[in-house]
A and B are shown apart, each in its own frame.
Chain A
Amino acid sequence: AQKITQTQPGMFVQEKEAVTLDCTYDTSDPSYGLFWYKQPSSGEMIFLIYQGSYDQQNATEGRYSLNFQKARKSANLVISASQLGDSAMYFCAMREDTNRGSTLGRLYFGRGTQLTVWP
């Protein structure tokens, strides 16, 4: 089974609007971390936001927030007030922290969502 599922290959949003990028995950590890990265066409992976499995509150970083619903195993990224520069590929990733048979520190990535912001 896939550990990270991103069901939206592409999303479109108008400038200044909010957009939600979906991510669901699958793990039996009680301790894990969830990440979102932005990858522009240049290829670099830009860290956006992190949520730990024991964190009680949803993580926020500026215009980015992570809607963490543990029971549903979802970790959606919300971008508020979209900007043209937000157009990029967005990857959701998970790290299992208890190291039960998997590489410690390894990130499992989804297939990504291509976000296009139009004026």
Chain B
Amino acid sequence: SAVISQKPSRDICQRGTSLTIQCQVDSQVTMMFWYRQQPGQSLTLIATANQGSEATYESGFVIDKFPISRPNLTFSTLTVSNMSPEDSSIYLCSVMTGSSYEQYFGPGTRLTVT
């Protein structure tokens, strides 16, 4: 299995500001993803973080709002830009390893926008 850490674990931010969330994996992984979980809801995929190239975004999510970087096979960042209260969610990093069909999540970042 992969051990995944996320920073920060939680934050309270003001409307209009931006927050960058980091995801670090203890081993090289083939695929990394970012999900959002709004309060009381299920998880929704934001984008696939591609190593060395632009992320692939799902319908309803755009790069200007959620820029993503993945400089190597163990690290990725997600920025939530120009935040509004609707962005209050748990943001989760997920990885898929090449040697297993299992898929793991980081501990999540709980974001509150006031």
Contacts and interface: CB of A to CB of B under 8 A. Distances in A.
A37 B31 CA distance: 19
Given A37-B105, A45-B108, A47-B103, A103 B45 contact: yes
Given A43-B110, A105-B31, A105-B96, A33 B42 contact: no
Contacts of A50: 101-103
B43 to A, nearest CB: 5
Contacts, number: 60
B101 A47 contact: no
Nearest to A52: B101
Nearest to B30: A105
Contacts of B1: 47
Q: Chain A: interface residue count, which band?
A: 20 to 34
A106 interface: yes
Interface residues of B, number: 25
Interface stretch (A18-26, A68-76, A108-116): A108-116
B102 A91 contact: no
Interface string B61-97: 0000000000000000000000000000010101010
B41 to A, nearest CB: 8
Contacts of B45: 103, 106-107
Given A43-B90, A47-B103, A104-B31, A91 B108 contact: no
A45 B105 contact: yes
A107 B58 contact: no
Given A33-B101, A91-B42, A105 B33 contact: yes
A104 B101 CA distance: 12
